Amino acid sequence: MKPVLQRIDAILARIPADSRSGRKIHGEMVDHLGDAVAARVAEGEAYEAALEHAVDDFGPADELEPAYYRDYVRSRYLLGFVDREAFGDGRLLRSLGITLLLLGVLCYQVLPTVAAHAGSMALVHALLTSALQDPGSARGLMETAVEQTLPFELDPRLGAVRPWGVVMGVGLLLFVVAGARSLRRLRMSVSGAELLLLGLLGAGGAVSLLTTVDPSRYALAFIAGVFLPVADDPARDGLEAQGVFAWWTSVAVVAGGVWIWFRAWRAGVADTFLLRQGAFWLLVLALSIHWMSHPLLRDGLLRMAEDPDAIPPAQIHGLLTGDLTRFVAGSVGLVAATLGLGRVFAAADRVFLARGG
């Protein structure tokens, strides 16, 4: 026969202790055995024998293990698959936020960026090599390429990419709000007003991403600015204001992050490793947003607004490559920070449950 503690362990083998339902089952079983052993010891039985008999009375592990697992699944999952706990404590909201954010990064950032920059670079290469010999042909080539290679800027089709930006913004907001709930469980004394402030920071980050980062727009506007200086360019409107907004949003997100961890430290939270991890990923998140909100092309456009010859065509390739690198690095950073913060929030949930929920 297995040693008595292993028999107890065998009954609870499949019931995770980092879930609320699982912890209740663990707790009840331990309480029951504790009561049974205490009663037997009070009647004069030796402790080891009392424990052995209490587990005997509890029942055979091979029969109870599936029964307890079924009970756990029924307690935790609605219809066998909808996780009630995740819905109740914000984990579902956080997972939804992560999913939307990553989907938005892919569809609003990565794919249009790569398409727009690759198209722009091909166009610039063609213009700089052969077509420049004939300015008329270069202009025709530019107009055709703008229509065919860089469709996102054309108003009727711009709508196709914008919704993904909204998806990304909503995802970021949900992620931040649900994550703040997880941090709150680490017994940080966060007030309602402070949670609201966190929500506003998340919203600021979302709006910043949504309004200032549209890589295809900058790529096209920049090329058009260089080669078609007389063209009507709506993309230049408001660029400066967007830049200022993006800058302050980045500052606010970093400051908010520092403040959160400072508050946690002041509150005496012992999970310093968790806090360090969280601080690191928050910094990566802020840097990614900052990178993606400050394309080199926008600065180039602003300079060209003052002096049309500020950027010589030979530098175009460098700027496009630099921005492409920024956007890809920013996207990778955003994804890594999202997943990293998600893990920190999940660890915070586990700590919370381990402390008795």
Partner 1 sequence: MAERFPPELLKGTTDLVVLAVLARERLHGYALIQRLRESSGDRFRINEGSLYPLLHRLERAKWLRAREQEAGGRVRKSYETTAAGKKELARRTREWEAFRDAVQDLVAPHPDSSERPSGNRERSPR
By beta-carbon proximity to partner 1, the closer residue of 37 and 224 is 37
Do residues 35 and 17 lie in contact, with contact meaning Cβ atoms separated by under 8 Å?
no
> What minimum distance in Å lies between the beta carbon of 189 and partner 1?
22
CB of 33 to partner 1, least distance (A): 9
Q: Which is nearer to partner 1, 18 or 71 (CB)?
A: 71
Q: With binding defined as CB under 8 A, does residue 240 bind partner 1?
A: no
Of 31 and 240, CB closest to partner 1: 31
Residue with the two structure tokens 């010891």: 41
Query: Which lies closer to partner 1 via its Cβ, residue 5 or residue 244?
Result: 5
Residue type, 73: V
Residue number, 50 or 297, with CB nearest to partner 1 = 50
How far is it, in rounded angstroms, from Cα 242 to Cα 246? 6
Q: Tell me the one-letter amino acid at 356.
A: G
Tokens of 335: 């994804």
Binding mask 20-59 for partner 1 (x = CB under 8 A): ----xx-xxx-xx--xx--x-----------------xxx
Q: With CB under 8 A as the rule, give the number of residues binding partner 1.
A: 23
Q: How far is CA 308 from CA 126, 127, 283, 312, 314, in A?
A: 21, 18, 37, 9, 14
Window of 68-76, 110-118, 290-298, 339-347 that interacts with partner 1 by CB under 8 A: 68-76
| Backbone dihedral angles phi then psi of residue 44, each to the nearest 5 degrees | 105, 5
Cβ atoms within 10 Å of 148's Cβ, excluding its own? 10
**13, 67, 82, 251: which one binds partner 1 (CB under 8 A):** 67
User: Which residue number, 35 or 48, has a Cβ lying nearer to partner 1?
Assistant: 35
Residue whose CB is less far from partner 1, 29 or 195:
29
Q: Which stretch binds partner 1 (CB under 8 A): 19-27, 141-149, 164-172, 203-211?
A: 19-27
Per rule CB under 8 A, is residue 62 in the interface with partner 1?
no
Among 4, 75, 203, 277, binds partner 1 (CB under 8 A): 75
CB of 47 to partner 1, least distance (A): 17
Show Cβ contacts of residue 156 under 8 Å, excluding neighbours closer than 6 positions: none
Give yes or no for a contact between 197 and 239, defined as CB atoms under 8 angstroms apart. no
Smallest separation, CB 12 to partner 1 (Å): 11
Which sign, positive or negative, has the C-alpha torsion 212, 215, 220, 226? positive
Q: What is the 3-state secondary structure (H, E, C) of 61-99?
A: HHHHHHHHHHHHHHHHEECCCEEHHHHHHCHHHHHHHHH
Q: Are 264 and 215 in contact (CB under 8 A)?
A: no
Which chain residues interact with partner 1 by CB under 8 A?
A: 11, 24-25, 27-29, 31-32, 35-36, 39, 57-59, 63-64, 67-68, 70-71, 74-75, 356
